[in-house]
Structure 1
Amino acid sequence: MQDTGRKIIHVDCDCFYASVEIRENPDLRGRSVAVGGMPDQRGVIATCNYEARAFGIHSAMASAYARKLCPDLIILKPCFDLYKAVSRDIHRIFADYTDLIEPLSLDEAYLDVTDCDKCHGSGTLIAREIRARVKEATRITVSAGVAPNKFLAKIASDWNKPDGLCVVTPDQIDDFVRQLPVRKLHGVGKATAARLKRMGVETCEDLRQFSLVDMTQHFGSFGSRLYELARGIDQRPVEVSWRRKSISVENTYDHDLPDIEAVQLHVVVQT
């Protein structure tokens, strides 16, 4: 059964690191800007603005290759202290509306505003006001999705990027979800999407042709999750006491490590 009583907002800053850098240096506005490692040090792109994305540049791309796609690309080293300070400013605005805030990273968070009485209790008006306040206070644009659950709110926040707002009301859930590609479902990666495609499933409407028993047989416990998501059902609460479930560290070396012995000499044990 769909939970239609909640009002969940997913807020996502637009090209956050790059936007902060452009704010600090307005001369960069209108130019292709990325934040990441340097090309001559085998660095990778962390994020880039939409001008750079027009050249096909994206996060995790090798900086040297990104520079080939866009010779005029400006690549800046990240300044995490600055990004954290801006993130704190944004979260202070969030806290004016609810204590139920689940940060996902420096630049995105879920807010449960179900019990907020500001803006006449309208999730749409709250999201609109938050976006305006963030832009005025930080000169950073954010996109927001408003929906009855986290799954739909996150998809909605990406719907009208950049600087956009998308609202999925309870009566729109069925039609909104029906058209979604299954790759948009939380937890569906390339391998699962390929497996679903072999089953003739590319959209949530296709997925709805399978019963809960069918999905469980094919995918185990994750099958019941897929069954619910294909119907717009997501009971997960906004978790204030959010704990990181995993951590990873990457390091790109300036030169190739030719064999396992060389790798072992450079390995740093994470504790």
Structure 2
Amino acid sequence: MGTTPAMVGADFNTHMILHADLDAFYASVAQRDDPALRGKPLVVAGSSRRAVVLTASYEARPFGIRSAMPLYQARERCAQLLVVPPDFTKYKETSTAVFKIFHDFARAVEGLSLDEAFLDLGDTSVDEALDKAHAMKKAVREATELSISVGIAATKMVAKIASDDGKPDGCTVVPPGTEATYLAPKPVRRLWGIGPKTEQ
């Protein structure tokens, strides 16, 4: 997918943060490694009676299936749902390869999980940040065959929201000075760390 500029912004240099998030990571790894799973609704989950969905493929999400949902509920929503056991060794290997790429494009990398990180791009222009983002996305796809969504902004919170807005495989930039306009129409729960109780 292409770049989504959230707003038209200035082209001066400022400190920029990139949030990178692999798309449906566990499910995408399963589909990458088994062509028979591609294009089909699947979840990655354990086999116990109390198992919950670790990741749902994008094909499963139209059925209302989401991460952390009890597996039995996911099965009820999609009769043809495929269930794949997790392979954490494979996830860690893939994550290591991706994070090596992250370090090639950033001054510093703050990992949030196996599939998600903040990248410090330093003082740069929006155009330069976008060039890095597209080059990084290409490098990740070539190395792992996986897509990654990217958000670019002057703060971590806005960068994370931007990457979510571009999923899957998007690249969304919020130029400095446009944050208030970008965030204004969004519900409070979209802010990082805000839950339902706080929103009320």
Q: With structure 1 as the length reference, what TM-score do the two structures score?
A: 0.66
Alignment of 1:103-118 (within 5 A): 103-115=111-123
1:22 to 27, 31, 47: 31
Q: Does 1:80 align with 2:82?
A: no
Bigger Rg over Cα? 1
Q: Deviations over 1:93-150 (max 9, x none)?
A: 111122410000000000001157xx99811111111111101110000000000110
Q: Percent same amino acid among aligned pairs?
A: 43
Q: Deviations over 1:142-184 (max 9, x none)?
A: 0000001101100000112101010000132221022221111
Q: Does 1:7 align with 2:16?
A: yes
1:125 to 131, 135, 150: 131
Question: What's the offset of the Cα at 1:186?
Answer: 2.2
The higher-RCO structure (CA 8 Å, 6+ apart) is: 2
| Equivalent-residue separation in structure 1 for 2:43 and 2:185 (angstroms) | 33
Q: Does 1:161 align with 2:167?
A: yes
Partner of 2:100: 92
| Equivalent-residue separation in structure 2 for 1:52 and 1:12 (angstroms) | 19
| Equivalent-residue separation in structure 1 for 2:177 and 2:191 (angstroms) | 20
Distance 1:171 1:99, change over 3 A: closer
| Equivalent-residue separation in structure 2 for 1:185 and 1:120 (angstroms) | 23
Task: Tell me if the contact between 1:115 and 1:121 (Cα under 8 Å) persists in the aligned partners.
Answer: no
Partner of 1:43: 51
Partner of 1:150: 156
Structure 1: gaps of 5 or more residues: 195-271
Partner of 2:10: none
Q: Does 1:182 align with 2:191?
A: no
How many residue pairs align between the two structures? 188
Question: What's the offset of the Cα at 1:42?
Answer: 2.7
Q: After the TM superposition, list the runs of 4 or more consecutive aligned residues in structure 1 that deviate by more than 3 angstroms.
A: none
Letter in structure 1 aligned against 2:111:
P
Q: Deviations over 1:203-262 (max 9, x none)?
A: xxxxxxxxxxxxxxxxxxxxxxxxxxxxxxxxxxxxxxxxxxxxxxxxxxxxxxxxxxxx
| Equivalent-residue separation in structure 1 for 2:68 and 2:155 (angstroms) | 29
Larger strand percent: 2
Question: What's the offset of the Cα at 1:52?
Answer: 0.5
3-state SS, counterpart of residue 111 of structure 2: strand
RMSD of Structure 2 on Structure 1 (CA): 1.8
